[in-house]
Structure 1
Amino acid sequence: MKVRLKGVNRVSVKLANGDRVTYYYAWKGGPRLPGKPGDPEFIAAYNAAVAQKAKQPTGTIQAILNAYQDSPKFNDLAPRTRKDYVNHIRKIETEFGDFPLAALHDRRTRAEFLGWRDRMAVKSRRQADYVFATFAAIMAWAFDRGLTVANPCERPGKLYRASRSDSIWTQADEDALLKVAPPRIRLAYLLAVWTGQRQGDLLRLTWTAYDGSHIRLKQGKTGRRVVIPVAGVLKAALDEAAQDKKAVTILTTTKGTAWTGHGFSATWRKTLAKAQVTGLTFHDLRGTAVTRLAIAGCSEAEIATFTGHSLRDVGAILDAHYLSRDARLAESALSKREAHEAGTKIPK
């Protein structure tokens, strides 16, 4: 007799060698189950997980974590974000799962929570910030719904500070990379620098998204839909690649299969090393695209149509991270001022 187990979460994963495997979890964010549905060990593990979840005490942070993972707020997150949250939640469970909600109003609780973040920061400040930001988001969600009487995680500040102000790809960097990059990496670079899209979205981009003049995609992180006109240099590269399609996706490995995130990142790093390009990442191409559009005289609204940012975010990015360090903008500003004060036409 076939037994139907409620809530089992099925996840299909593509391995680095191209094979696909399926993992099963007792529920979204729950423990992984051994074997396959119907196997005795699978059913036993499922029943044990459900029993453990049922007897978890109320009035603890664990109850808040469970409620959050059953909420639309959690389920509406992008798949990658949800996966990261699950990893962070497991760390929170280990440290504070049995922490009583009644103690949240005690001022010493905030010190306890921040002390935990500081201990994690010894290994990685950035990772400590990520985990604690997840904790803070969940506690804010609970407080907003009246599930807690206080939120000791509110406005914790950040331990990790980094500026990408100097992390813009110059023409010299581009020339060095394209000189040694194989065609599949060259195409990835051109897609990134001419569209300003994220690595994950570009790796998932299919040929059906390209009609010969525009690229249409839905961003995985924000859900925004963008329509991007294709520049001549990018069109030439895409049209050439289209003559030898090997997969549904535009970007592929040497075997003609879709990239995994880890596989692409490894090949990208090797190409950077060969080109002797240092201090730059693939993600920096997104900021580089924004900067180059701004230098070309594009308005923030025009830039936003390319990148999918909100207008406010475009302005913040340009102001805080990139344009303050680009000398060409200062030179352009001086040229315009001199022309204005001389009573001549402002050069374009």
Structure 2
Amino acid sequence: MRTRLKGINTVRAKLADGTEATYYYHRATGTRLVGHPGTPEFLASFQSAARSAAQDRGAGTISWLIRQYQASGQFTNLADSTQEIAKLNLKAVEDKWGATPLEHAQAQRTRPLFLRWHDKLAEAHPRAADAKLAALARVLSWGVDRGHITNNPIATFERAYRADRAEMIWLPEHVTAFEEAASPELRLALMLALHTGQRQADLLALPWSAYDGKAITLRQGKNRRAVYVPATTALRTALDAAPRRATTILVTDRGTSWKKRNFHEHWSEATKAAGITVDLHFHDLRGTAVTMLAEAGCTVPEIATITGHSQAHAQKILDRYLARTRSLAEAAIVKLEGHHRNRKLQNALQNGSKAST
């Protein structure tokens, strides 16, 4: 069945040899369309012209700049899940600021307007407010790089949501408790996370083809960074013993690949069953892997090569971890010295009691 397309101008012309030719044009852009109506070539030509018209609509506004950004490789190369979240945030930006001329958007005097919008949103949803303003800032920065504007007035801003989990580490007792309570499928997920330092989304999608018996090779979904992780002896043993029931390494107890929400529910249940009362998440295993590598003597550049962190972020995790372990050590010494003082006092009282008798 032929799809009826709207917005096409048909022009018939008589050629020099006396024959008649028919030409088709996209009405909004004046673009001549290739092929004949009903053919895939014609449909592709029409869709290309329509996209061009959409991008040109509202030229010189924030809406126009958002469309240019979303059509760029910087956006299309992002993971599908990242694009989906970004589109939601950019839709909110466009609803509020889409008609704003770029001349005003790039002016430094506009910064207070953007920040007041952010502050108003943050009263109810601070994390969402940060995400929306960050999305606008990202588009404006892209616009500066491409020469569409000359300034990004919100290149930096103070975030409303503060949650630094760099110091949240799975300690050996947490790992042991989880392994005792979790299913074999979740224990393998724990092993992969601890021994590779990769994100949950990448591990859930990791295919068996990424493992060659010696190492795991993958391209991270968030930043498209290629990572090569030699497998530890323990990880090789676990992977070699695991049944290959699907294309992905990690599967449910029914042998099907995990869905994000389903995995989260099962992981939370296992954490609760393990009696882990500390606010630990699966993502914290990534930071735990960084500290394990550091304790094994790896340098920050070596750690970043394996986990895919930036060196600055890897160093930040280590700084937080060391600060935590120092405070724990200091608290332990205070308790030890207090114990020694109590013992001395008890001995002195006992000796004094014996002397009086």
- 1:267 paired residue number: 266
**Rounded Cα–Cα distance in structure 2 between residues aligned with 1:52 and 1:205:** 39
Is residue 165–residue 325 contact of structure 1 (8 Å, CA) maintained in 2? no
**Rounded Cα–Cα distance in structure 2 between residues aligned with 1:81 and 1:186:** 27
**Alignment of structure 1 residues 159-238 onto 2, 5 Å:** 159-238=160-239
The more displaced of 119-128 and 200-209 is 119-128
Distance 1:51 1:308, change over 3 A: closer
**Rounded Cα–Cα distance in structure 2 between residues aligned with 1:268 and 1:256:** 16
- 1:8 paired residue number: none
Give, in angstroms, the shift of residue 72 of structure 1.
Answer: 2.4
**SS at 1:186's partner residue?**
helix
Distance 1:78 1:232, change over 3 A: same
Is residue 204–residue 257 contact of structure 2 (8 Å, CA) maintained in 1? yes
**Rounded Cα–Cα distance in structure 2 between residues aligned with 1:3 and 1:67:** 28
Is residue 184–residue 253 contact of structure 1 (8 Å, CA) maintained in 2? yes
**SS at 1:74's partner residue?**
helix
**Rounded Cα–Cα distance in structure 2 between residues aligned with 1:173 and 1:73:** 39
Distance 1:230 1:145, change over 3 A: closer
1:176 is aligned with what amino acid? Answer: A
**Partner deviation per Cα, 1:153-179 (whole Å, 9 max, x = no partner):** 221232222222441001111111111
Does 2:273 align with 1:290? no
Distance 1:224 1:180, change over 3 A: same
**Partner deviation per Cα, 1:194-249 (whole Å, 9 max, x = no partner):** 111111111111122223332222222232332322223322322221xx321011
- 2:348 paired residue number: none
**Rounded Cα–Cα distance in structure 1 between residues aligned with 2:141 and 2:72:** 14
**Rounded Cα–Cα distance in structure 2 between residues aligned with 1:311 and 1:99:** 38
**SS at 1:155's partner residue?**
coil
Give, in angstroms, the shift of residue 252 of structure 1.
Answer: 0.5
- 1:245 paired residue number: 244
1:138 is aligned with what amino acid? Answer: V
1:68 is aligned with what amino acid? Answer: Y
- 1:11 paired residue number: none
Unpaired segments of 5 or more residues in structure 2? 6-46, 331-357
**Alignment of structure 1 residues 309-348 onto 2, 5 Å:** 309-319=309-319, 321-327=320-326
Distance 1:63 1:162, change over 3 A: same
Paired residues, what number?
Answer: 291
**Rounded Cα–Cα distance in structure 1 between residues aligned with 2:100 and 2:186:** 49
- 1:148 paired residue number: 149
Give, in angstroms, the shift of residue 50 of structure 1.
Answer: 6.7
- 2:14 paired residue number: none
**Partner deviation per Cα, 1:299-324 (whole Å, 9 max, x = no partner):** 223323321334444333322x3222
Give, in angstroms, the shift of residue 106 of structure 1.
Answer: 5.2
Distance 1:51 1:140, change over 3 A: closer
**Rounded Cα–Cα distance in structure 1 between residues aligned with 2:171 and 2:55:** 57
2:126 is aligned with what amino acid? Answer: R
Unpaired segments of 5 or more residues in structure 1? 6-45, 332-348
Distance 1:223 1:65, change over 3 A: closer
**SS at 1:98's partner residue?**
coil
TM-score, with structure 1 as normaliser = 0.74
Is residue 166–residue 316 contact of structure 2 (8 Å, CA) maintained in 1? no
**Rounded Cα–Cα distance in structure 1 between residues aligned with 2:218 and 2:56:** 45
- 2:256 paired residue number: 257
2:60 is aligned with what amino acid? Answer: G
- 2:338 paired residue number: none
**Rounded Cα–Cα distance in structure 2 between residues aligned with 1:107 and 1:219:** 36
**Rounded Cα–Cα distance in structure 2 between residues aligned with 1:4 and 1:185:** 52
**Rounded Cα–Cα distance in structure 1 between residues aligned with 2:255 and 2:225:** 29
**Rounded Cα–Cα distance in structure 2 between residues aligned with 1:82 and 1:211:** 31
- 2:103 paired residue number: 102
Give, in angstroms, the shift of residue 145 of structure 1.
Answer: 2.9
1:91 is aligned with what amino acid? Answer: A
**SS at 1:143's partner residue?**
helix
Distance 1:215 1:112, change over 3 A: same
Q: Identity percentage over the alignment? A: 43
| Higher alpha-carbon Rg | 2
- 1:13 paired residue number: none
- 1:78 paired residue number: 79
The alignment's C-alpha RMSD in Å is 3.1
